[in-house]
Structure formats: C-alpha cells, structure tokens
Amino acid sequence: MSAYFHTVPPRSFHITIDTLDFHAQSWCLSAACTHAEQGSVTGSRYMTNSFCKTRTLHLKGSFFFLDDPAEVLIPLDDILYNKVRFAFTLRGIRCFAASLVGYTISEEATRGTLSCELDILISSPLTKVPDETEPDTGTETTIQTEAAKIV
C-alpha cells in the first residue's frame, strides 16, 4: 500500500503595528450577537433587544529583534496603555477601529524571537479590500495607527 503526501511550507502573515513588525503564524476571529429576552404575563418569552458584540482577533506569532527586547516591549505596551486605535488589513479583510486589549510575550533565546499572542478588539464591521489594492503576494498585512489616542 502506498500513499502520496504533499507538504505545505510554513508561512506567516506579516503585520506592521506602528513601528513593530509582527509575523503571525495563526489567527482566530470570534464574533457573537447578544439577545435580551423578557417574559410576558402569559409565560411566553419574547426578544426585547439584540446587538452584535465587538469582534475579538487572537493572533499567535513572533517579533524579531536585534539585541534588546525593550525595542518591542516598550512600543507594544505604549499602544496598549494609551488605547491607540488603528486600522489594519489581514488576508484581504479590512478592519477599522481596532484596539489592542492584551498580549502575552516570551523570549526564545535560541531563535532570536519574541513569541507573542495578541488580542485585538475590532468594533467596526469587516470589509473586503478591493482587488486592485491587495498585495501581490497575499501575505503582506499592514496596521496603521491613528494620530489621536483615546484617553
């Protein structure tokens, strides 16, 4: 019995957050709507209100750095602490009004990277990037910060 296997080379999605270059190996987007119910005098239930919650994007990847992890940690913490809102594109999907709400970071001395998990909230609807503005490689992603910081 024989089998044919095709291996897929590992890839990452390059993301620029302000001045930081992040290489995501995986991402997970979650979204949900909330519904409020109320009981009537007859005992039946009816929906009184509903709304969509903000989307949560969880990115796993790494930052590359030269010698000092502060080159990454200080700007990343500044984005989190100052509640910087930004827009970014991930795999042809445009996200506006996003904000970093958490990160977990660790150094791998043998690889020269900072492994990181980022949690980003996206409060606006997702849109598709028009075909003529998509990157040729399909792997480049950019995040642009707004000049104003929310206090």
Per-residue model confidence as pLDDT tens digits over 48-89: 788 888 899 999 998 877 678 888 899 999 999 999 888 888
> Are the beta carbons of 64 and 21 closer than 8 angstroms?
yes
Is the pLDDT reported for residue 120 higher than 90? yes
Is the pLDDT reported for residue 119 higher than 90? yes
SS3 letters across the chain? CCCCCCCCCCCCEEEEECCEEEEEEEEEEECCEEEEEEECCCCCEEEEEEEECCEEEEEEEEEECCCCCHHHHHHHHHHHHCCEEEEEEECCEEEEEEEEEEEEEEEECCCCEEEEEEEEEECCCCEECCHHHCCCCCCEEEEEEEEEECC
Per-residue model confidence as pLDDT tens digits over 5-62: 667 676 778 877 777 888 889 999 999 888 888 888 888 888 878 888 889 999 999 8
Distance of CA 128 to the CA centre of its chain: 16
Is the pLDDT reported for residue 129 higher than 80? yes
Distance between CA 32 and CA 51 in Å, rounded? 9
Averaged confidence pLDDT in the chain: 80
- Domain 13-149 - what CATH class? mainly beta
Domain definitions of the chain by residue range: 13-149
- pTM recorded for the entire structure: 0.71
Is the pLDDT reported for residue 138 higher than 60? no
